[in-house]
Copies of this chain bind each other. A is one copy, B any other.
């Protein structure tokens, strides 16, 4: 549970969004909250970052969306993973594993 939100590391936003949708469909701000939750408050993704990414990902075919009602009875666009999206989540998870291993490795070098 970190106090100060950190700037996002470029290249990790898609991964976080994909992961946040892995447990079920969510609307935009729901995704944002979930990311904040699962990263222990470290990352806060604002609308201006989130929605362009969602649109990009929908074009890639990783998510699909539909209009519905939010918990508060407001209109909200829900997003969910497609099959390709689940695959992409695996791909990016493995990529993250490699990268974080390599950098941790590098930082321990003498």
Contact = CB atoms under 8 A, between A and B. Distances in A.
A103 B95 contact: no
A23 B38 CA distance: 37
B42 A6 contact: no
A19 B106 contact: yes
Nearest to A89: B107
A110 interface: yes
Interface stretch (A10-18, A46-54, A59-67, A78-86): A10-18
A102 B37 CA distance: 10
A39 interface: yes
Interface of A: 2, 6, 9-12, 15-16, 19-20, 23, 35, 37-40, 42-43, 93, 95-96, 98-107, 109-110
Given A38-B105, A100-B100, 5 more contacts: A9-B9, A12-B99, A39-B102, A39-B105, A40-B102
